[in-house]
Amino acid sequence: MVFDKKTLIIPDEAKFEEHNIVASGDFIIGDRADFGLGVITDGRVFVGEKTHVKGSITTKDDIRIDMWTHVDGNVTGEKDVFLAEKVKVKGKLSVGKDLDLADSAEIEKFEARGWINVRSPISLVIYIYLYLLELMRQGRSQEVAMILDELEEDDNEFLVSEVFTFVPNDSEIQLQSASVKGNCRIGENCRILGNYTVSGWVRVGGETKFHGSINAGRDVYIGNGSEIVGSITSKGEVTLEGDVRIHGNVKAKSVEMLKSTVVDGTIQAQDGVTFTSKESKEIEVKVERFERGLDDLDAVLD
């Protein structure tokens, strides 16, 4: 799956259970996010700066929480845990291996089975400052410029797992509602709760049950066999695949749906509603693959 910093990504098989999101793979929450749920995963957990996590974090892997972030619940990692400056954990911190934390981090109570390293970032800053001051005194301004350029480079990049959850910067994810300044991609066979307001496009995979409404600034796609217990509002096109059921209204610029799709409410489409069949959809896919050179002409004609 492609990593896009402006898209909320919820992987296949993810489930909203009580006050937690249960998912597989790495779980990344961006900067300045308001995350009103807990996290349960088997992958690593990364939380950005100035983020508020109102639930607990539980994983079988590493945890890294960046500075000025608050976690209201417990933090449990079976491997290493890193806490940056001014991080606050109101619940219990449980570390399976080593704990690396800043001396300004606040923890109510914790237990760690490995090494505990308490860092003091102030001394490091003073050391760098004095070192640069000495270089400038010696007239080695070119070296100072090179060091400053290296410090400005983003060295926090990391490789995420093939399956992952990503919450973009400035997002608000609560149990009953969510607001995303970007796009939203939800995988297959998921169980999602809440009304979602998304400024970009929304794509929901097949066999997913979505308990809430979708309000999107661009196109909305609902995969085969999915169920939306709510309404869909879009400023673009809404595409409903086969055996989709919408327990509410659909309002968009245009709507494309199969004859097997069921909409319990009303449909409002400025540019009209287009009904298609599974056969025509399959032909469109074959033609598109042929034009991209993925299939030969005989396969398309068959």
Q: With respect to residue 260, please indicate whether it lies within any of the assigned structural domains.
A: yes
Q: With respect to residue 204, please indicate whether it lies within any of the assigned structural domains.
A: yes
Report the predicted TM-score, pTM, of the whole model to 2 decimal places.
0.81
Residues 87 and 60 in one domain: yes
CB 31 within 8 A of CB 14: no
Place of tokens 């079976």: 78
Residues 140 and 84 in one domain: no
Residues 214 and 224 in one domain: yes
- Tell me whether residue 161 is exposed, middle or buried, using C-beta atoms within 10 angstroms of its C-beta: 0 to 12, 13 to 18, 19 or more: middle
Q: Which domain holds residue 23?
A: 7-119
Distance between CA atoms of residues 199 and 197, nearest Å: 7
Residues 235 and 273 in one domain: yes
Residues 111 and 132 in one domain: no
Residues 236 and 134 in one domain: no
Residues 202 and 140 in one domain: no
Residues 182 and 127 in one domain: no
Q: How many Cα atoms are found within 13 Å in the side-chain-facing hemisphere of 125? A: 4
Place of tokens 């995969």: 223
Q: Quote the number of domains for the chain.
A: 3
Residues 108 and 212 in one domain: no
Q: With respect to residue 13, please indicate whether it lies within any of the assigned structural domains.
A: yes
CB 42 within 8 A of CB 163: no
Residues 95 and 11 in one domain: yes
Per-residue pLDDT of the chain in tens (302 residues, 90 and over written 9): 556 789 999 999 999 988 999 999 999 999 999 999 999 999 999 999 999 999 999 999 999 999 999 999 999 999 999 999 999 999 999 999 999 988 889 998 888 888 877 766 555 556 666 777 777 878 887 877 877 776 666 555 557 788 999 999 999 999 899 999 999 999 999 999 999 999 999 999 999 999 999 999 999 999 999 999 999 999 999 999 989 999 999 999 999 998 889 999 999 999 999 988 766 666 555 555 555 565 554 554 45
**Tokens of residue 52, six digits:** 């508020």
Residues 135 and 235 in one domain: no
Q: What is the DSSP string of 230-243?
A: S-EEESSEEEE-TT
Residues 88 and 131 in one domain: no
What is the radius of gyration, based on Cα positions, of the chain?
Answer: 24
Distance between CA atoms of residues 13 and 207, nearest Å: 10
